[in-house]
Structure 1
Amino acid sequence: MEKQEFIKLAEKYADGRCTPEERHIVETFFDKFQEKKTEWEWSEDEERRLRMLARIRNRIHGDGDNRRVVGNKMRWYRITGIAASLVLFIGVALYYNSSLGETYREEMAMRGEKKEITLEDGTIVYLNAESSIRYPRHFSGTREITLKGEAFFEVAKDPKRPFIVKSGDVETRVLGTSFNINAYSGKQVRISVNTGKVQVTDTRAEGKKAFLKRNQQVLFREGTGELEVSGTDAEKYRAWTDNVIVMENNTLREVADILERWYDVEIVFVDKGLENKIITGKYKTNDIREVLESIKFLKQVEYDFTAPGKIQIRNMSNQQKPKPM
C-alpha cells in the first residue's frame, strides 16, 4: 500500500466507513507508528499530525475505566463523536499536505490552543481553538485561503491582489482590512468588520452579496441562506484573540461549546433544560474553574469534575452526584 492510499484509508476510518479488515490495517499502523516502526518516511509536519491522530485514536478506544467514568451510552457516544471528528479534521489536513506537496500549507489549532500565523504577504491570522486554514505557500493573482472554524484577520493592503477567505458556502473578499470570521462546522457563519470594508458572497446564489464596513456584521444561516446585516461592536468578536471570553445572551450550551474548545474538556448537562438558559458575562482567565464558579453563582447550578477533562453540570436541586471512579 502506498502512503497516500493509507491516508485515504485513515480518513475512512475516522468517518466510520472501514471494513473490519481495513480497520485492522489502520489500528496496526498506529501501533507501529507509536513504536516508530512504520515503512514510510514522514515530514516533520506529517509526524506531528500523526501523533495527534494516534493520541485521539487512543482516546476513542480507551479502556474500560473511560466507559465507567462516562456512566451511560449517550455520553460515551458524545466523546467518541467528538474525538472522531478531530481525527477526520487532522486526517484531511494530512491528506492535503501529502497530496499537494509543497504547493499548499495547512495550519491548525487543536482544542486548548490558539495560533498566530503570518502569511508571506504580511497578513496576520489569529487562529482560534479547533480551527484550521489552508493556503498556498506563494500567492499569485489573488490571495485565497480556506477557513474551518474561527479566525481573526489583519490583512496586508495590496490593491492588485484581493484577499479572499472561503468558509463553507460563504466567500469574504477584501483588499486590506481587519475582520473576524466564525464558521465552525454545523453553525451559522458570522463575519464582523473591525476596520475597512468587506464584501461577503453566498457562493450558492449568484448575485447574493453583502457589503460591510466598520462595526457591521453579517450572519449567514445555512437553513435559510440569508445574509443578515446589522450593526455591532466588532471588538467583542475579536476579544478571544486576547484570551477574553465574551458571553452576550448566549445559551449555556453555546458557552459549553466554547469552553470545550478553549480548555480541551468535555461538558455534559445532567439536566438537559439547563442547556437553553441564557447567560451574559466577560472572562479573562486561564482557569476554567473561575468561569464555572461564575456560571454556578449566576445560574444556580452545580458542576463536578468526574474525571480529568470531563465535567458535569446540574441543577443545584439535583442531588444526583456522579458515581465515584
Structure 2
Amino acid sequence: MNIEKEELLRLLKKYRAGQTSPAEEEFLEAYYHLFEHSDDGLEKLDAAAKEALKQNIRAGLDQKITLQQKSFWLRNYRSIAAVAFLILVGSYLLLTQLPKHESFSKTTQISKTYDIAPGSNKAILTLANGQSIALKNEKDEKLIYQWLDSGATTTVAYNTITTPRGGQFQLTLPDGSRVWLNAASSISFPTAFTGKERRVETTGEVYFEVAKEHLPFIVSTAGQEVEVLGTHFNINAYADEGQIKTTLLEGSVRIAASADHKTRLLKPGQQAVFMPSGQFVAIQEADTEMAVAWKNGFFKFDKQNIQSVMRQISRWYDIEVVYQGNLPDDEYVGKIKRSANVSGVLNILRLSKLNFKVEERKIIVYN
C-alpha cells in the first residue's frame, strides 16, 4: 500500500467520524472532482458503469455538499498513476460509506482581507475628438451602435472602448456584430462601416460574433490580421502571455501573419498560435470551452502552471501578484466561477499546498 492510499484511507476514516478539518474536507471534495474529470483511472470501466458510479457518488455528495462555486483540482503529472489509483479507491469508499455527520463544509474563508470583489461590467469609451466617457452597466446591458444611413457622404469617426483590469464589456458594432471584451482589453472601430471592408483593431482578449455581410470583417492585432465574413471566434493577444491565440468556434477565418506574409485557413475547433512578432507557431486542435470560458463567467485551466493561472486572476481582480521562493511545477486543471470573491479562488488554490498572503491589492504566492 503506497503512502497516498494510506493517507486517503486515514482521511476517509476521520471524515466518517466527523473529525476532519475544513481543509481536509476540501481535499476530499477536490478528489471527487478529479475523479469526475479523469480518464486515466477509469479506462477499464465501460461507459455505463462509469456513469452509474459517478452518478451514485454525486447523488450521495449532493446530500452533504452545498457548493458556492465550481471546484478546482490539481494534477501533478509526475504521479498521475498513483493519483488515478487513489481516485478509484476513494470513489468506491465515498460511495459505499458516506458519513452521517454534519454536512461537508463550504470553502473556508482564509481571511476577510482576501475578500477582493471580482471584476464588473465597466469600460472607457474614447470618442474621435478625444473625449472620454466612463461606461458602467448592469449585467445584461451593453452598448449598441446603430448606423443610420442618410445617403450623405460624411467623415467616418473612430471610437475606442477600453476595459480596465477588473472590467469587462459587451457592445454591438454598427453592422450588428457582437463583441465581448475581457479585462485589460480594447477595440477601436468606426462609427459606420463604409468602403470595401469592415476593419477593427484590438488588444488583450476579445470574442466576436460577426454579422454576415458581403464585406469582409478584418480584426487587426499584434502580428496578425484575421479576416472573416461571418463567424464566432476568440482572440487572446495579451502582451504578458507571450503568444497570440485565435480560436475558431464557428465558420472560417483566414489569418495573415506579418512575419512571413502567408495566409492560413482556420477551421472550427482549431486554434492558431502566433508570436507577437507575427511568427507562425502552429495550428492545433483547441479546447473551445476553455477559450471562451471567460465570456461565460468562468476561469478554466488545462495543464497550466501557477504563473499562468495567476495572470488571469490578477487581471480580473485587478491585483498585483508577487512570487517568493521555489514554487512547485504542478499543472492545474479546473473551472472556477469568476463571480466569486478572490477569497474563494485562493482557498481552492490552497489545495495545491501553496500559500497566499494579501497586502492590500497585492497577493504574495509562496510555498
Q: Same fold (TM over 0.5)?
A: yes
User: Which residue of the partner structure matches residue 216 of structure 1?
Assistant: 270
Largest Rg, 1 or 2: 2
**Paired residue type of 1:311:** I
- Secondary structure in 2 aligned to 1:182? strand
Aligned with 1:274 (options 303, 327, 332): 327
In the TM superposition, what is the alpha-carbon distance from 1:43 to its structure 2 partner? 7.4
- Secondary structure in 1 aligned to 2:279? coil
Q: Where do residues 31-110 of structure 1 align in structure 2 (5 Å cutoff)?
A: 45-46=131-132, 48=134, 103-110=157-164
C-alpha offsets along residues 25-82 of structure 1, whole Å, 9 cap, x if unaligned?
xxxxxxxxxxxxxxxxx97942659xxxxxxxxxxxxxxxxxxxxxxxxxxxxxxxxx
What CA distance in whole angstroms lies between the structure 1 residues aligned with 2:133 and 2:247? Answer: 36
C-alpha offsets along residues 133-152 of structure 1, whole Å, 9 cap, x if unaligned?
11111111211011100000
C-alpha offsets along residues 182-204 of structure 1, whole Å, 9 cap, x if unaligned?
00125200001111011111023
User: Which residue of the partner structure matches residue 11 of structure 1?
Assistant: none
In the TM superposition, what is the alpha-carbon distance from 1:277 to its structure 2 partner? 3.7
Aligned with 2:296 (options 232, 236, 242): 242
User: Which residue of the partner structure matches residue 300 of structure 1?
Assistant: 353
1:194 matched to 2:249: yes
**Paired residue type of 2:164:** M
User: Which residue of the partner structure matches residue 77 of structure 1?
Assistant: none
**Paired residue type of 1:155:** V
C-alpha offsets along residues 188-229 of structure 1, whole Å, 9 cap, x if unaligned?
0000111101111102322x2221111111111247812411
**Paired residue type of 1:46:** S
What CA distance in whole angstroms lies between the structure 2 residues aligned with 1:253 and 1:137? Answer: 39
**Paired residue type of 1:278:** E
**Paired residue type of 2:207:** F
- Secondary structure in 2 aligned to 1:286? coil
Q: Where do residues 60-209 of structure 1 align in structure 2 (5 Å cutoff)?
A: 103-140=157-194, 141-158=196-213, 160-186=214-240, 187-206=242-261, 208-209=262-263
Residues 300 and 334 in structure 2, CA contact (< 8 A), matched pair in contact too: yes
Residues 133 and 145 in structure 1, CA contact (< 8 A), matched pair in contact too: yes
What CA distance in whole angstroms lies between the structure 1 residues aligned with 2:160 and 2:251? Answer: 27
C-alpha offsets along residues 98-121 of structure 1, whole Å, 9 cap, x if unaligned?
xxx971000011111110010010
What CA distance in whole angstroms lies between the structure 2 residues aligned with 1:251 and 1:134? Answer: 32
> Unaligned stretches of 5+ in structure 2?
1-127, 136-154
1:226 matched to 2:280: yes
User: Which residue of the partner structure matches residue 85 of structure 2?
Assistant: none
What CA distance in whole angstroms lies between the structure 2 residues aligned with 1:281 and 1:232? Answer: 16
What CA distance in whole angstroms lies between the structure 1 residues aligned with 2:365 and 2:204? Answer: 26
Residues 253 and 276 in structure 1, CA contact (< 8 A), matched pair in contact too: no
Q: Say if 1:212 and 1:44 are closer, same or farther in 2 by CA, change over 3 A.
A: closer
Q: Which moved more, 1:168-177 or 1:225-234?
A: 225-234
Q: Say if 1:303 and 1:213 are closer, same or farther in 2 by CA, change over 3 A.
A: same
**Paired residue type of 1:282:** K
- Secondary structure in 2 aligned to 1:180? strand
Residues 150 and 183 in structure 1, CA contact (< 8 A), matched pair in contact too: yes
**Paired residue type of 2:365:** I
C-alpha offsets along residues 7-29 of structure 1, whole Å, 9 cap, x if unaligned?
xxxxxxxxxxxxxxxxxxxxxxx
Q: Say if 1:227 and 1:210 are closer, same or farther in 2 by CA, change over 3 A.
A: farther
Residues 165 and 171 in structure 1, CA contact (< 8 A), matched pair in contact too: yes
Residues 265 and 310 in structure 1, CA contact (< 8 A), matched pair in contact too: yes
What CA distance in whole angstroms lies between the structure 1 residues aligned with 2:236 and 2:328? Answer: 21
**Equivalences, count:** 218
In the TM superposition, what is the alpha-carbon distance from 1:301 to its structure 2 partner? 1.1
> Unaligned stretches of 5+ in structure 1?
1-41, 50-100, 316-325
More helix by share: 1
User: Which residue of the partner structure matches residue 321 of structure 1?
Assistant: none
- Secondary structure in 2 aligned to 1:292? helix
Residues 356 and 365 in structure 2, CA contact (< 8 A), matched pair in contact too: yes
Q: Where do residues 246-257 of structure 1 align in structure 2 (5 Å cutoff)?
A: 246-257=300-311
What CA distance in whole angstroms lies between the structure 1 residues aligned with 2:256 and 2:129? Answer: 37
What CA distance in whole angstroms lies between the structure 1 residues aligned with 2:176 and 2:355? Answer: 47
Q: Say if 1:135 and 1:48 are closer, same or farther in 2 by CA, change over 3 A.
A: same
Q: Say if 1:47 and 1:115 are closer, same or farther in 2 by CA, change over 3 A.
A: closer
Paired-residue identity, %? 31
Q: Cα RMSD between the aligned structures? A: 2.2
